[in-house]
Every structure is written in structure tokens, then in C-alpha cells.
Structure 1
Amino acid sequence: MGNILLIQPPIQDFYLTAKRTIPYGLASIASALEKTGFSVQILDAMACSRSQSIALPKEMAYLKEYYGKEDRSSFALFHQYKHYGYSFEDIARETKATSAFLVGISSLFTAYSDQALQTARIVRQSLPKAHIVMGGHHPTALPEKVMEEKAIDFCIRGEGEISLPLLATALQNQSSLDSIPGLVFRKPDGSLHISEPCVVKDLDSLSLPSLHLIQSDFYYRGKNASAVVVASRGCPLQCSYCSLGAHSCLSYRRRSLSHVIREIEIALAHHPVLFLDFEDENISFDRTFFLALLKEIQKRFPGRLELRAMNGLYPPTLDEEIVYEMKQAGFKELNLSLVTLSPEQLKKFRRANVKESFEKIVKYALKIGLSAVGYIIVSSPGQDPHSSLHDLLYLAKNNVLAGVSVYYPAPDSLDYQICKEKKLLPAQESLLRGSALPISDSTSRLQSITFLRLSRVANFMKALKDKGIEIPQPEICSSSKIRSQDRLESSKELLSYFFQDYRIRGVTSQGEIYIHKADTELCKEFAQKILTK
């Protein structure tokens, strides 16, 4: 059988969470292709530590006033826009060295679709005779948009483990493509054949991901290797903002316990200790399964796993028994999804109020030595900025790290359709990310950036308390130069100025103090309330 190349493209953004770029989906598809008899390579353009500062795209020019100078304090956000991963010249050189007849390109996030499309153009130049197919969430949601790019021959919508082997076989046999699930292609008259997304009903029918194709030496967290496992797909919740929620075609499905454990065994085969992230949308939804998984991990891999569920945990699915077993299995931190406490906003989001379960879980987690992060969403259309400030203060007073997610309309979500109808979608797809502050509606961009900076203030205050350091008293800022070059001391100094005049400041590497753009009213309310019992 022929050679197939699967590519994870580079990305361009203000920041990168490297441990979340493991090409797990490509490894799963590669396994299905290998099972069919094809030889497969994965070109992971993210498996390198290279990054290059580049100019802001023109459509993001408005962000300069919010992400201006460098800041070495604890209140820093983003400063430079960067290209992360291989250069396109690197990709051209690597692809040209292959003999692939079919090249699959991953495009998971619409915000990074420009880099995926540029990768397709590079592949077309390097391998002019190869077939190019793009898969992932972006082409699933917006296939017509993707097929505007002439370098792309096909899209696969939905899950690719069934569709891509069928496509590869059909291309080699020169047989009909019409019945391949999830496939999008151009018909002879130029119109598009668009199939419904492919959904794998029985996840245990899939062979385990081809982990040997992942450059695991790059994906380390400290001294330990990192890996990803997905025990279930889809989500039973109906949240309006999520592409897997109220508007999704992908139903909730779960693998068997033995299938998941076997994958963990393979991941641990060459590593004494492993940082393992469950990338499920709702790993704890099935309580019986999750509890059995945690206990089996303790039995089979004692002390060998540090576990995380970085997509977030839904508090009502947790209880003291579950949280205890999570710690015993290797969890050190709980990523808890609060979203908001506002009844009006919860109704819009189609989301239950989880305050009671959130507080119970946080209290017990802290009692047994687990840390917790609480995540809220701010800046959605119609969302009251003062209710968002209330959410942030609530997190700060519950002794958890505050995770603030700036809203963006995710393609294929119910909210995306609503924003489209209300003409609230940003002009460019590259702006569909929180760091671009894409929606300026009832919450302004100035207020959005203020929430991000105030979360840094809240988390710095928590760090001081955890270390037994007193919160500094208000102090008038009377100098343009910082007193200490130590990051902790300089941040304490800036915090004292904040409590005096409600201005969030930063400091350059030369020690110059300056004022960040922020909403004064929100800062004042935060400063006055954060210290009250």
C-alpha cells in the first residue's frame, strides 16, 4: 500500500500551551490507516521549541493598545505575537522528502485555519501530484469555506478513523468516492459534494492510537513525559457556547475500561512516570465508569501517573468519594468549570447553576491537599460585565485560582449561529479566539482585558496568602522606577499602588513603571471588594 503523510501545522498566536498540542487525533487516524495496510508518517510541526516574533496581522491591529509594552510583573498578559513551530520552509523541505500519495492536514481550531491552509499550499508546491485532504473541527463546521482553497482536494467532516482509510483505498483503486462518510469534494460541475459528519458509534472498534509516531521526546513536562488519552467523545450537556453542545452532531460515547487501560499501558511502556491529560469533554460524567477507571489506575500503575483533566470537570458529577479517588490515582489539581453565577446568563448558556456542588468540591479538595482552578466565561453577547466581576470575586474568595476565558463564538455551536444572525461575528476567522477579544457588545474590549488583568491580580494575591505573605497596604506611586528587581517584590509594590488608585501597572525589564489600559470602574469595585470578608 502507498505512503500517507499526516501533518499538524504550526500556529500563530500570543501564547502556546505546548503540552496540549500532542497530535493525539492524528495518531488515532494513523492507527486506522496502518490497520488497513498503509504506511504512515506524522509530521508534527509543533514538536519543536522554536518560536519567532512576527507582526500582528492587520485585522488584529486594534489589540496593540491592550497588549502594548513588555511586563515582567505577575500581572503580565501577552506582549508579542509569534509563529510557533516549524517554519513553512521547514514543512516544504520535510514534505518534499516523502513519497506520500495522500497528505492529511489537521485543522482543529478555526482561529488557526490560515496556518493550516498555508500548509496545504506548501504541500501542493512540494508534492504536486499528491492528494490533499483536510480534517478536524474547522472543516467539519465550515467545509465550504475550506474548499475555497484550490490546494485542497477533499475535506473530512467528523471523525476520520473510518473516512480516511476509505478515501485512501478509493484513491488507490480509482473507485467511487460518493459513499464515503464525512467526505467533501468537488463534483465535475464545480459544485460540492458535502456528506454529513462521520461518527464512530463503537469506540472500542478502533485500534489504539499509533503512539510510536508521536515525537514523545519533545512532549515532556519537567522530567516526565506527557501523553493524552480520550476515554469518551462528545458531551451530554447542551451548553450553547460549545461546539460539542446544543448544536453538535457528535453524541456522547464512551470506551470500555479495558480499552482505556490498555492504551495507558502502552503509553507507560517506555516511561517510569507520565503526565497524563484526559482530554475528554466530560470525563467524570459516567460516575460508575470514572470511579472504576480511577481505582484500576491505582491498582495497575501506583505512583506512575500525574493526572489532569485540562478540558475541565463538571462539578455536579463529582463528590467526596470521587475526589478522594482522583487524588489517590494521581490528580494534583482540579480544573472546575463554573462558567458564571448569573441566572440570566446561565439561561442563555443553557447551563445549570453549579455553585453548591462547586463549593463542596473545592472545600473537600483543599482539605485533602488538592489545588483547584475555577473557570468562568466573560464578555459574551449581552453578558453584564458587573456580573462577570462578581464571578471573578467569587473565585478569589473561594481560595481557587481564577481562570478567565474571554468568550468567542465557536463554529458549529448554537451561539455561533446566534452571533451570525445578530451580525456579531468578527470580520476574520483568525479573530475567533479569546486572546483577540473578538466580541465587543455589552462588555467592551477594555472591560474584557480588565478581567484578564484582574484575574492576574487575584491569583497573585492568592499566591501571597499561600506563602504566608501579607497583602501590602495601599501606597501612592511617587516614582517611575521600580524599587526592586525581584519579581515578587516588584509585583507587591505594584499591588500596593493598585489598592491606592485602582490602576493596574506593569514594569519593563529596565525597571520602568507604566499603567496598563483597564476599566477604572471595574478596577475600583474589584479593589474595594477583594479585601472584604
Structure 2
Amino acid sequence: MKVLLIQPPIQDFYDTDIRLQPLGLCMLKGVVRERLPEITIFVRDYHQGHGRRDIPLPPELSYLREYYAYPDSGPFSMFHKYVHFGAPFDRIADEVRRESPDLVGISSLFSPYHREAAACAREIRKRMDCPIIMGGPHVSAMPFAVLADPNVDFVVCGEGERVLVEFLTALLSGNSYDRVAGLGYKRNGEPVLNPPAGNYRFDELPLPDFSDLPPERYRFGNKPLCFITTTRGCPHRCEFCSVHLTFQEGFRQRKPGHVLHEMEERYSVGYRAFDFEDDNLSFHKGKFTDLLRLVIQRWPTGEILCTAMNGISYLSLDKEILSLMRQAGFRDLNLSLVSAEEQSLAAAKRPHTVRKFLETVEQAHLLGFRIVAYQIIGLPFETRDMMVKTMAVLTRLPLLLGVSIFYLTPGSPMARGFPLQNDADVVKARSTAMAVETARFCRDDLYTLFITGRIINFLKGLKLGNSQVSLKHAIEFASTQGKRARIGSDLLGRLLEEKRLHASTSKGHILLPRFRPALFFEVFEDAGFIRTREGGTIAVERC
């Protein structure tokens, strides 16, 4: 039997260049090769390394045209073109037909990109009549909706390793599927979803099999990048997150020595950067500390790079752990604040505190970390003023702002408070859609705050050292730092003088009518000053 696992392309206004390695599919390949060695199984990534092309904006997102209207060359630019990132669907299907597999598995990781996974299934089905199975977080959130697709024969809910092995065993033997826990299928045209059961022990799973993926395709800076996980699940239950639907067995962790062995295996084939894709890497302080010490003992400083692009919980971070992280090869620190309003953190059921966040930022800055702190704007229970206050807090800290616009994730606890999501709602479940408005804020507010975050980051990124300068001086300094910075200096100067923001295009400066200058000035005046990433200070005169 021959099995082909596919990571589909995606369609959006932008793509994440780094976080693309299909770790989940490679974990499935590893366990199938261990437990069913008679099966030939391949992984094909049709997302990374297959180019890009502009495509029409979906009708459901047509309202965004007035927000993303211009190809802006300035540093505050929003999006413009809607793009297909990856191989064309017809080429994918043609290649699958040439491979002639007995089963095709398609990953559906993120809900707004499920249409791309469905398009792969549709085009494959046009060319050959082999069974198609889908899995991933979106499938776990909406299994019956996925199973309703005539081009999808089976679905996997939750963690996939045991489900896939038992499904393949039933497929080989001709046995019934009704005993394959977590499998969805069709019986006489009607959907059937078997109850879930436990997966194999996480710390006993074989290593992911990356043998189908060239190391040079995935890079962090100039180093070949490998994904790795030390844990599964998350002990927290944030209202906007649906991770519990996929990892239903709670929080589990591998032994530090096992993780180090995997890193050594990857190092031996050329990987030099490791992205820990855990949902809560540092939750178990003792085991995380043990892992860091093992890494420090194994590799000299600078030999490898470590990062956690999925973010890291600051609850268990302290000076000792941060220092060990630096020695182990961490240079960047991604922290999720969400909001600086304690009542918002409570509403989101986050156990984090603002005080702990501020303490962590200062400690990490002193150790030389490049910090990005994430704020979610557009949370349904927040007001515009609350978003302004959070952005002002982050503006005063030595970090860059990661402004993320809230979207309703299918299967999240928060989604239960909204009407049942249809296909159009799922397509809008992305930050770029700015889809959620309430009586407390509108889309123009989200758009303005997002751009404001970019303006603040433009200033925070200026190489001013530890000096204290005026906003006027900072803008003048920016004008000497290259073409794009010069454009930013000009646009910001005009905004401060004229109370209007323009896009910089090949046809000259064009006014951005949806940008609300008054809201921008609220943030600046509330902040009082801007602390650069290097630790310098830019005084904000009353605007």
C-alpha cells in the first residue's frame, strides 16, 4: 500500500516565511513507518517552495478592498494583493495521479485555509478514484462539515497517530471502521463519527520523519530550520483558543533527554536552527530548565539557534530561565500579553498578570533578548479605550509590538457565544479579515490601531542607542536611514502636521480615508513616550 500525505497551499494577503514545515504530517509518517513498515508513505509540502501568484479576492472579503486599496511602499503599509502561496491545485492533482497512491491524506490546519485543502481534494478526485482522508485542527473543530464534502471520504478527529495506524490496519485487512476511535466516515452516505480514544504515549512516539523535506527549504536567517515539540496540549483554556479540540488528553511532556536526542539527530543531517512549536513550552519549569542545561552542555554558544515562534508563556519565566535560554541559543522572545487590562485577561480566562509580564520584559531586555509582545485588538469584550491603553503600555517598553486582530476560531469557547459559523464565517477567521465589529468599536478602529502599531514599531526600530531624543529628532534621524525609512519619515511628519495619513505609491501620496488620526493621537498621548527596542527613549510632545 502507498500513502501520500499533503500539505496544501494557502491563499491570503501575506504568508509566514518561516513557520511552514509540515511537522504533523512528518509525525504521522514516522509512526506509520514504525508500526506498519509494509506501507510506503510519503510527505509532500505544496506550500513552501512553490512560488506565488496574485489571485482575485474572494467575494466574502470584498469589503476589504477599500482598506487594502493601494500598493504602499512605505513602512506603515497594510496589505494589497490577495495571493496564492504554493503550487497550483491542478499541478498538485497531476503529481498525485502520477504517484498513484492508494490513499491520500490532506492536512487542514487553519480554518480560513480549509478551502485550499478542499480544492486539493476536489482536483485529485477529478483525476483518480482513491480514498481521501483529512485531519488537522480545523477538522477536529468542524468534522461533520468536512465530512459533508463529497470529495472527502474519511476524517481524523484529535491527535492523528493512533487513528491513522488503526485506520490503515483496517483498510489493509478489510475490517470494519467502526472500531477505529476518532475516525469519521460515511455509511450509506450518512456521516459517522466514532468516539475518540487515547493516543499512543507522547513520549514514546518515534521521531518525525523529515526525509522527504530538503533541509535547505526551511530556514531561520541563514540556518536550516527544523520544527520540534517537547510538549502537547496546553493546561490553560483561553477563551479564544481551540487547541483543546485537537489535543484532548491534556498537557503532556517528553523527557529532556529524549528531546536532546532528537535535536542531535537533526543536527547530524544539517539542521542548525530549532523552532519549538509547543503551545506552552515553559509550563513545567523544572523540565524546561533541564532541557536548556542539556543543550548548553552539548553545543557551544552560537553553534545553534533556538526560537519559539509560537510564543512562550511568561508565567514560569524568571531571570534564571531567561539566562539559560540565552546561553542555549535563544535570541528572540515572543510573548503574548493579549491585553494590559486585568478584567480582559480574566474574561479570556488567561491566568497571566500584567505585573508578571512587565517584570519578564525588563529582565529579558537586560539579558539582550529581541522581544516581540503580542496584543490582540478587537476582543469582543474590550472597548476601544482598553485597546488604546494596552498599546500605550507596550509603546513604553523596549520591544516591538505584535498587533494581532481578533478572529473567531471555530471550536473555541468564545465561538459558542456567536451564531453557528457558516462557510463564509470560516473564511473570515483570519486576522487580515478584520471581521468582528461590536457596538464598542468598528473596523476603522481596528485598521487604524493596526497601522498605529506599525508606526510605533518604525520608531522603536531606530538605532538611537540608549539616548533620549524628541519625536522631531527621531523623525529627522529616520530620514537619513535609507529609502524606506525616508518615506516613513515623510509620511509620519505629514501625519503629525496635517492630521492625515497617506500611502506612498508610484503615483504619489494618496490619502487613506479609513485611517482615523484622532485614534492614532490618542495612543501617542496616552503613551507619553516611546521606548525603542534598544532601550532609548523618544519623547512624544503633545500632538
Sort the Cα spacing of 1:175 and 1:152 in 2 relative to 1 into closer, same or farther, 3 A.
same
Percent identity of paired positions between Structure 1 and Structure 2: 32
Residues 230-309 of structure 1: matches in 2 within 5 Å? 230-244=229-243, 249-271=248-270, 274-302=272-300, 303-309=302-308
How far off is 1:167 after superposition?
1.0
Q: Distance in 1 between matches of 2:513 and 2:461?
A: 22
Sort the Cα spacing of 1:40 and 1:424 in 2 relative to 1 into closer, same or farther, 3 A.
closer
The one of 425, 428, 449 equivalent to 1:428 is: 425
How far off is 1:424 after superposition?
8.3
Equivalence for 1:492 = 489
Question: 1:158–1:199: 8 Å Cα contact kept in structure 2?
Answer: no
Q: Distance in 1 between matches of 2:430 and 2:44?
A: 25
Equivalence for 1:391 = 390
How far off is 1:311 after superposition?
1.4
Sort the Cα spacing of 1:520 and 1:172 in 2 relative to 1 into closer, same or farther, 3 A.
same
Residues 68-467 of structure 1: matches in 2 within 5 Å? 68-128=69-129, 130-188=130-188, 190-200=189-199, 202-244=201-243, 249-271=248-270, 274-302=272-300, 303-420=302-419, 427-441=424-438, 442-464=440-462, 466=464
How far off is 1:215 after superposition?
3.1
Deviation larger for 505-514 or 21-30: 505-514
Question: 1:379–1:440: 8 Å Cα contact kept in structure 2?
Answer: yes
Q: Distance in 2 between matches of 1:26 and 1:323?
A: 32
TM-score relative to the length of structure 2: 0.91
C-alpha distance after superposition, 1:105-129 (max 9, x if no partner): 000111000000010111212321x
Question: 1:314–1:336: 8 Å Cα contact kept in structure 2?
Answer: yes
Sort the Cα spacing of 1:298 and 1:54 in 2 relative to 1 into closer, same or farther, 3 A.
same
How far off is 1:469 after superposition?
9.6
Q: Distance in 1 between matches of 2:151 and 2:48?
A: 25
C-alpha distance after superposition, 1:498-522 (max 9, x if no partner): 2234433321145435335212331
Partner SS state of residue 180, structure 2 = coil
Aligned: 1:519 with 2:516: yes
RMSD, aligned CA: 2.4
C-alpha distance after superposition, 1:431-451 (max 9, x if no partner): 111111111113211111111
Question: 1:157–1:195: 8 Å Cα contact kept in structure 2?
Answer: no
Partner SS state of residue 18, structure 1 = coil
> Alignment length, in residue pairs?
522
Q: Distance in 1 between matches of 2:511 and 2:414?
A: 38
Partner SS state of residue 488, structure 2 = helix
Question: 1:48–1:218: 8 Å Cα contact kept in structure 2?
Answer: yes
Q: Which amino acid aligns with 2:490?
A: E
Partner SS state of residue 315, structure 1 = coil
How far off is 1:267 after superposition?
1.3
How far off is 1:290 after superposition?
0.5
Sort the Cα spacing of 1:247 and 1:121 in 2 relative to 1 into closer, same or farther, 3 A.
closer
Q: Which amino acid aligns with 1:240?
A: E
Q: Distance in 2 between matches of 1:269 and 1:484?
A: 41
How far off is 1:380 after superposition?
1.7
C-alpha distance after superposition, 1:322-354 (max 9, x if no partner): 000000000101101111122332221012342
Q: Distance in 1 between matches of 2:70 and 2:315?
A: 42
Question: 2:225–2:273: 8 Å Cα contact kept in structure 1?
Answer: yes
Deviation larger for 108-117 or 409-418: 409-418
C-alpha distance after superposition, 1:264-307 (max 9, x if no partner): 11211122x62211000000000001001111111112232211
Question: 1:228–1:276: 8 Å Cα contact kept in structure 2?
Answer: yes
C-alpha distance after superposition, 1:369-409 (max 9, x if no partner): 11111111110213111111111111110121001111111
Structure 2, unaligned runs of 5 or more: 530-538
Question: 2:393–2:527: 8 Å Cα contact kept in structure 1?
Answer: no
Q: Which amino acid aligns with 1:133?
A: I
Q: Distance in 1 between matches of 2:326 and 2:452?
A: 30
Q: Which amino acid aligns with 1:173?
A: S
How far off is 1:483 after superposition?
12
TM-score relative to the length of structure 1: 0.93
How far off is 1:185 after superposition?
0.6
How far off is 1:176 after superposition?
1.1
Q: Which amino acid aligns with 1:180?
A: V
Structure 1, unaligned runs of 5 or more: 476-481
